[in-house]
Structure 1
Amino acid sequence: MAAASLLSRARWLLVEHPAVASFRWQPGRTVGATPSFAAAVICGYLAAVLVLRRLVLPRLPALPPPALRALSAAHNAVLLALSAAMAGGCALSTAATAPAPRWAWAFCFPPRGATEASGPVFFWAHVFYLSKVYELGDTLLILLARRPLTLLHVYHHALVVAMCYLWLATRQSLMPVALVTNAGVHVVMYSYYLSCSVGLRWPGRWKRAVTELQIAQFLFSFAASVVMLWLHFAAGGCEGMAGWVFNAVFNASLLALFLNFHGAAYKGAAKANKGKAE
């Protein structure tokens, strides 16, 4: 009974709440619902990284470690809570509102205007989009900690804003699956980051496991795309194919960069440890 009551309460908050159920993506009216907004966020982010890294932070004293840890913990806690809410909210919304067959709708939205960018699933896609803007704070924390920025980090954080805008603007098929998968991975990732920021120390294999989970996410996205393409060609088409093409190319580039990062970060360390053992 307690579990059923908790599920009912969660469903009301995450699916049936008036603000969630009545959501509608309206270009030019909904927050962030213009290409110029997404472009401005990306350009502003890249400019801020350049200015902070080259001109501002070198002239400022380093932030005290306790303050940096507190800032990092608060940031990671917010993203952990957001990720859990988005994963749960989108999953419950898909289960509650998707037309039959639900599994097919999660992969392939009906085309030619039959799918409106409204309702709980699109509400959580909008929250997800805006969360990627907040997530740019990851970069600020790296800069404040005086740690090096990688191409993978900056490229990923910049282009994911464009990807999430296109999810909504094109009513992209596969969006529920991709959102729940990505938010679920981020629950694990930000749990790890939060525990590190409050002083818990984990063996190196856990950091590697987080990276490998992200790689598995991209591989899963390609497997899910096979299902979507099968439905597209066998069942009369899927909505948002232009957005999916951008998403697929972006994911392929991220997979290549993550594999390169994994090889550089962990294979070299494994060889070094082996050499020490010998």
Structure 2
Amino acid sequence: MFQSIIDYFSSIDPILAALYASLFTWFLTALGASFVFLFKTMNRTVLDGMLGFTGGVMVAASFWSLLAPAIEMTGGEGFAKVMPAAIGFFLGALFIFGIDKVLPHIHINFKVSEGIKSPWQRTTLLVSAITLHNIPEGLAVGVLFGGVAAGIPEASIAGAVTLAMGIGIQNFPEGIAVAMPLRRMGMSRWKSFMYGQSSAIVEPIAAVLGAFAVTFFTPILPYALAFAAGAMIFVVVEEVIPETQQDKNTDIATLGFVGGFIIMMMLDVALG
């Protein structure tokens, strides 16, 4: 079945493939958010474990799918070979840092909002935080497909599809983690679902923009891959991990992180 998927994505325009793959990641977010139609609350231990799993997938994807290919496709030796990845990684983290300081948002398990002061309601601030989280995920998928379109040997359809699968897998619990707190705050099931799924709408947009950028400016691919990795790692360290440490479930969250890392690593090495 995986080969059939690869064959299909190989037969269409890579930018269109980036759109379809990122729509798949959005769909799994929506599928997770739809759990609010079945449950009103979710055990905090389960929620922290799922958030840990999300962080593990993102960290593994950052290395296996983004940083390693970025270094591999760079010519030269020693520091010259690793500098594009280092620069891109730093710029990606700096990009999310800048948005984090400007965009009004609040994390799931925190009470104090961040960014510029805003009259936005708490629900809007929560969705803003997850939307910020999803930008680098969509970008990561897009730049890999863009590399395929540009004919870069180190960028493959299999690798791009595998990355989309991994991000989609971690988006499922992420959808639950967004929608459930909104439902617990008293929001209706339908509104909780709509807010939950809308947090991932940014992924197809970021994916298409990333694919276009790499297609027209091929030399930036190593920087773009590392940029997405730096943005994802910043999100994990600044947002995901701290949110799992707010209660007494640190061990469960850590095991979830390990599980997510292993699954993404296995997917990337076995399929990508």
- TM-score between both structures, scaled by the size of structure 2: 0.43
User: TM-score, with normalisation over the residues of structure 1?
Assistant: 0.42
Q: Which has the higher contact order (CA 8 A, sep 6+)?
A: 2
Larger Rg: 1
